[in-house]
Amino acid sequence: MLEIRHLKTLHALREADSLVDAADRLHLTQSALSHQFKELEERMGMPLFVRKTKPVRFTSAGLRLLQLADATLPLLRAAERDISRLAGGTAGRLHMAIECHSCFQWLMPTIDQFRDAWPEVELDLASGFAFAPLPALARGDLDLVVTSDPLDIAGITYVPLFTYEAMLAVANQHPLASKPYIVPEDLLTETLITYPVERDRLDIFTRFLEPADIEPAQVRTSELSVMMMQLVASGRGVCGMPHWALHEYSSRGYVKAKRLGEKGLFATLYAAIRTDMLDAPYMRDFLLTAKDTSFSTLDGVSAVR
């Protein structure tokens, strides 16, 4: 009665929280995905989830099938890895760099899982803050770069990982904490705390302040997210940060997270890879593992549409 695709669709719906996002993750139309669920519910003889709820609320039958998916899909992935090894391409090199200070939160669990699955692959990780990683990727010095700033470089393909919202952290007692959203002019008198990277790699400058011709009163930098949050909480500045990184502090009431602009400021994180490596089995598996880990561990990320 059950097929692997049914388990994958249920798993995707739980991770995506809506039929639209689940369809995107599975590369299906929404109507095709709805048809799959209708077919499965007819086979089961009962509904599997409650329509028009967010987050999606599963019935007892749906939860039982999700338990099966959680047990079965990792075994399926492991079998696919073993078959890939039998077919060759088990050994290789995966040297990567990141251009995202807050990416360690989900990248390290991804690397740990990948290392267990592909022990023959030589794995190395460097920060891309002190050098230009994308040219190094094109030269062959690196094999993968995590970036939110794709450049048009021949021979490099950008695989979208997820979409996230950039937000502003302010102290709980800050006057901006009571505003529904932040406009560029609000930062005219503020000290803006950023990671120590060039302005043209920071969305809060390139896509929020500079289009409005606004310059904050001061800019200071910090390499550590926790130090940035301490500075914000003590009223010594405001800070732009991805929602997933900020959520750890705002959810505990340490700081307030405010939307940048009425409609929000959204960006996409990519894995940059040399095009000739896209079909390497271990590279495909790393990308799948990275996406699974990010959707299961990060708050406020969504599938790229």
Q: For position 9, what pLDDT does the model report?
A: 87
Q: For position 217, what pLDDT does the model report?
A: 95
CA distances from 114 to 58, 111, 127, 196, 304 (A): 30, 5, 19, 29, 23
- Counting other chains too, the contacts that 79-87 makes at CB distance below 8 Å and 24 or more residues apart are 81/117, 81/118, 81/281, 81/285, 84/281, 84/282, 84/285, 85/281, 87/281
**Which parts of the chain sit beneath pLDDT 70?**
82, 85-91, 127-131, 305
Distance CA 118, CA 301 (A): 27
Contact 209, 216 (CB under 8 A): yes
Q: At 100, phi and psi to the nearest 5?
A: -130, 110
Q: For position 130, what pLDDT does the model report?
A: 57
Distance CA 65, CA 63 (A): 5
Q: For position 167, what pLDDT does the model report?
A: 94
The helix/strand/coil state of 5 is helix
How does DSSP classify residue 264? -
pLDDT tens sequence across 39-62: 888 888 889 888 887 778 889 998
Structure-block tokens of residue 43: 């086979």
Q: For position 266, what pLDDT does the model report?
A: 93
